[in-house]
A and B are shown apart, each in its own frame.
Chain A
Amino acid sequence: MDEYHIYPAGDAAVNVTFANRVDPAINRAIRQLQSALEASRLTGITGFVPAFRTLTVLYDPLKLSLPQLKQAIKTAALATHQHSSQTKRIVHIPVAYGKAFGPDLSNVAQHAHLTPKEVVARHCHADYLIYMLGFLPGFVYLGGLDPQIATPRLATPRLKIHAGAVGIAGEQTGIYPIESPGGWQIIGQTPLQLFQPDQQDPFYYHAGDYIHFDPVSDFEYQQIQKMVNEKNYQIYVETRQVNVDGTQS
């Protein structure tokens, strides 16, 4: 596993800190470390918060001492060497682009010197890696946006962006899982309700998963929305085996 350091973050958490960069390999290392620690079922670990270069391990110091936790992290980090392949989980999000769904699509097209259609094609091409969630519940920090369609934020943020809005801000792309103010260039809208508070797992995705945007027509948007409202829409989640270095096996 990549080199890491353990820094206490107060008396009930430690940060396992990897190299200071945004890198899919680091994200993979963090994800593997979390899986290995979860598998160890060590008493006293109370939660995990993965981020770009850190895995924060929350613990109860009355049940687990810091030396014990450090040892468990070392053991888990060694165990991750043994995995040769892992599953790539790709969550497909249907999106209606442009018009009322994406009022800023033409801005992005203009900035990229492309047609709106070409922007959509590029936006729907990639599998975007979820580096982390934060800022808002279910808000994904995605990597992999085509640099050609990277567009600065709006000069004046909107006071209200609808839940399900899909946007671009600089070199980031993402979805607003709940209504919020924000300055993102909104290029589309998903009919899915990403936040399901009544579910054990309130979002379809976690850090380490991928998101793929599938373009849908207005008609399909309405159809999916209807199914979502009737609670019989089945979200498409693709799984693929990939080698540890990220190549397809």
Chain B
Amino acid sequence: MGLRVNEPGLLTTIQDGGRMVGIAAGFSPSGVMDRQAAQLANLLTGHSTNQPVLEYSILGPTITFTAQTVIALTGGRVAAKLNGVVVAQNQALVVHRNDQLVIGPLLSGRYGYLAVANVLKIPKVLESYATSLRYQLGGFKGRALRAGDFIATREPAPTVTGIAQRKISLPAADESQQTQLIRVVPGPQFEQFEQPATALFVSQTYTVSKDADRMGIRLSGVALSVDNVPEMLSEATVAGGIQVPKSGQPIVLMADRQTTGGYPVIAVVATVDLPKLVQIVPGHEIQFEWITLAQSQQLLREQSEEMVALQQRFSHLKPDTTRHISTKIRQLFETN
């Protein structure tokens, strides 16, 4: 079994939770941009949360499956078609041999995910499957997928029970032009900024600029004064860290960030709000809101508990008998 890439889409890479062991040696962690969406895709297809998935941006790939398996699409909204018929996102889908999935353009959001029940057969580099395009390592040959690629998967296909009940209803993403609130905690250099700068940081709206990619998201707004912020020695960067360079225009650091940086960090995005932020399309507006570290960690705890509850619900699903039988019959025809 495997995935044949008919059309690669714009930036389709294999990602997991990130290459955490290499950070002290200077490796960007890489990994998925929208961790929540990737984890849901994994749970829907019977995996634990940190398995490798396909991440696509702006335009999704077209893929042919060479045997029956279960898949799920999550993240940014698409109008994906399986053999020409529109299929739903955020639920498990059975695909059969030679079925073709056309994911197409993202209609909202920036990043989408495809998980497959069979484990992708790719090597780990430094304990991770994540693709690092900058260093050309990990994932599928260290690069974005191309037309003609074949990603082999492990056999046999795992049993995924209760397909029909493997769905989640997410609150509809806010696709209006309204300003999205992003919660932040004070960053390690917060105290070095003057009060007008820290006040302006949350009182104004920022526009997500077109320079928004897997490395970082540049924002544009009224410049924050960094004139009296002392020069600093480089130190470790974190996901969601908001650097303020001399220009006064903040940059939010993302998965492919450099591991160290020398710009003062005014704030760090609450981990629970990173998925929301990465899905915001350039040109749209955001506004930051301070919360305490305790609040941020409590939100993370609640989100994690929801994820665990979902995983438990799926693990107790009974086989969906009618579908199971129809699948068996179909398999008989396929093998003959």
* Inter-chain contacts of A100 with B (CB < 8 A): none
Q: A9-B188, A11-B268, A135-B258 are in contact. Are A56 and B236 (CB under 8 A)?
A: yes
Interface set, chain B 256-274, CB cutoff 8 A to A:
258-260, 265, 268-271
Q: Could you tell me if B236 and A15 are in contact, using CB atoms closer than 8 angstroms?
A: yes
Inter-subunit contact B187/A9 (CB<8 Å): yes
Q: Kindly state whether residue A157 has any CB partner on chain B within 8 Å.
A: no
Residues of A within 8 A of B296 (CB): 10-11
Contact with B26, one of A13, A58, A133 (Cβ below 8 angstroms): A133
B37 in the interface (beta carbon within 8 A): no
Asked whether B238 lies within 8 Å of A13 as measured between CB atoms, the reply is yes
A17: nearest chain-B partner, CB-CB = B188
- Minimal Cβ-Cβ distance residue in B for A207: B24
B240 within 8 A of A: yes
Determine whether the beta carbon of B258 is less than 8 Å from that of A22.
no
CB of B56, distance to nearest CB on chain A (Å): 25
- Chain B contact residues (Cβ within 8 angstroms of A): what range? 35 or more
B185 and A202 contact, CB distance less than 8 A? no
Partner of B293, one of A46, A66, A137, A202: A66
Interface residues of A in 120-143 (CB under 8 A from B): 132-139, 141
| Chain B 292-336 interface mask (CB, 8 Å, partner A; 1/0) | 010011001100100000000000000000000000000000000
Chain A residues numbered 43-96 whose CB sits less than 8 Å from any CB in chain B: 46-54, 56, 58, 61-62, 66
Tell me if B288 counts as interface (CB < 8 A to partner A). Answer: no
Is B125 in contact with A15, judged by CB distance below 8 angstroms? no
Q: Select the residue from B25, B125, B259 with max chain A CB neighbours within 10 A.
A: B25
- Residues of chain B lying within 8 A (CB to CB) of residue A154: none
Provide the bound-state CA to CA distance between A12 and B234, in Å: 19
Chain B residues whose C-beta falls within 8 Å of the C-beta of A52 in the assembled complex: 233-235
Q: In whole angstroms, how far apart are the Cα atoms of A197 and B269 in the complex?
A: 32
Check: B23 CB closer than 8 A to any chain A CB.
Answer: yes
The answer, yes or no, to whether A203 is at the interface (CB within 8 Å) is yes
Assess whether A134 is in contact with B258, with CB atoms less than 8 Å apart.
yes
Question: A46 to B20, Cβ gap below 8 A?
Answer: yes
- Chain A positions within 8 Å of B188 at CB level: 7-9, 15, 17
Query: Per a CB cutoff under 8 Å, which of B232, B238, B259 touches A10?
Result: B238
Q: How many whole Å from B29's CB to the nearest CB in chain A?
A: 10
Say whether A20 contacts B239, CB under 8 Å: no
How distant is the Cα of A21 from the Cα of B304 in the complex, in angstroms?
Answer: 39
**A178 close to chain B: CB less than 8 A:** yes
**A58 to B21 Cα, complex, angstroms:** 11
Interface string of A141-179 (1 = CB under 8 A from B): 100000000000000000000000000000000000010
A1-46 at interface with B (beta carbon < 8 Å) = 7-13, 15, 17, 20-22, 46
Query: Is there an interface contact between A11 and B293, defined as CB atoms closer than 8 Å?
Result: yes
**Whole-angstrom distance between the Cβ of A11 and the nearest chain B Cβ:** 4
Contact of A10 with B185 at beta-carbon distance under 8 Å, contacts A54-B235, A134-B258 already known: yes
24 A-B pairs (CB sep. < 8 Å): A8-B186, A8-B293, A9-B188, A9-B265, A9-B268, A10-B187, A15-B188, A20-B232, A49-B260, A52-B234, A56-B238, A58-B23, A61-B300, A62-B301, A66-B293, A134-B26, A136-B135, A137-B135, A138-B26, A178-B135, A197-B125, A197-B126, A202-B25, A202-B126
Measured CB to CB, the residues of B under 8 A from A are 20-27, 125-126, 135, 137, 185-188, 230, 232-236, 238-241, 258-260, 265, 268-271, 293, 296-297, 300-301, 304
